[in-house]
Every structure is written in structure tokens, then in C-alpha cells.
Structure 1
């Protein structure tokens, strides 16, 4: 993710918008070093698979997540 200050953004806006459009690059715009806006390409919402592709193979399930936990925690 690229970061740029508001003052530089004004002079390079067209170039940066082309970068966002062609390469799906996101740009964080800062004001005095603090992030204020993210510029990203408008598109269809990503599928769940696309959102979590980086996590594939890193998450491990040790039990069925839908089973009740009464035995473990006791009845309330």
C-alpha cells in the first residue's frame, strides 16, 4: 500500500489514479503524517474465498466449531 501526502497528491492525482485503476494499488493519503483517506479501485465485492486467500493453510480447526460447549464450560 502506497502512502502519499495531500500536498503531493494534488500535483500527481491523475498519475496516481491511473496506478490505482491499472494495478489495483491502494493509496493512503496523509495530512501531516496522519492517514486521512484511502484511495482504492471501485469494484465488485470480493468473494469470501478472495478475502481469505492469504490465510489458506494457516488456520487449523481442532474440533467442530458448531458443537455445543456445555461440557467444557458447564451449564449456566
Structure 2
């Protein structure tokens, strides 16, 4: 997800509009100062989620996790 960028001056003038946009779209807004990112406004995500719920859907395919690795390793000497 790519964040929208806005200057501090514009953000100050339209802060409520940007808050509503972040809430509705779920996309972050990066506030810049002289072209450099300084703040990120993003949707709130509850931190009290179960660890497995956070990882759900992150592994797309894992055919044989116990199969040997076909890579030669260099041992540190």
C-alpha cells in the first residue's frame, strides 16, 4: 500500500479531511516538512490481537517444510 504525501501546511489546513480519508480508505497519509517525511497518519489497529491472527494469510504456499534444502552451505572456518 502506497501512502499519500502532503505538506505540513496543507495538512494543517485540511487535517479533518485527511483524517476522514484515512478512516474511509485505510491508507496512510505521510506529512512532509520541506519534502522530507516527518509524520505518518494511519488507521488505528488494535494491538491486543492474537499473534496467529496477525500472521493469518501471510504464508501463501508451503509444500514440504521437512524436505532437505537443495543449497550448498559454506561453513565458517
Equivalent positions of 1:1-76 (< 5 A) are 1-45=3-47, 47-49=54-56, 52=58, 56=60, 72-74=73-75
Post-superposition Cα deviations, 1:46-65, rounded to whole Å, max 9, x if no partner, equal: 71235x47xx46xx88x759
CA RMSD in angstroms comes to 3.5
Post-superposition Cα deviations, 1:11-62, rounded to whole Å, max 9, x if no partner, equal: 1100000011111110000000000011001112571235x47xx46xx88x
Cα–Cα, structure 1 residues 25 and 73, in superposed 2: closer, same or farther, change >3 Å?
same
Structure 1, unpaired ranges of 5+: none
Q: Give the alignment's TM-score, normalised by structure 2.
A: 0.64
Q: Give the number of aligned pairs.
A: 68
Runs of 4+ in 1 over 6 A off after TM superposition: none
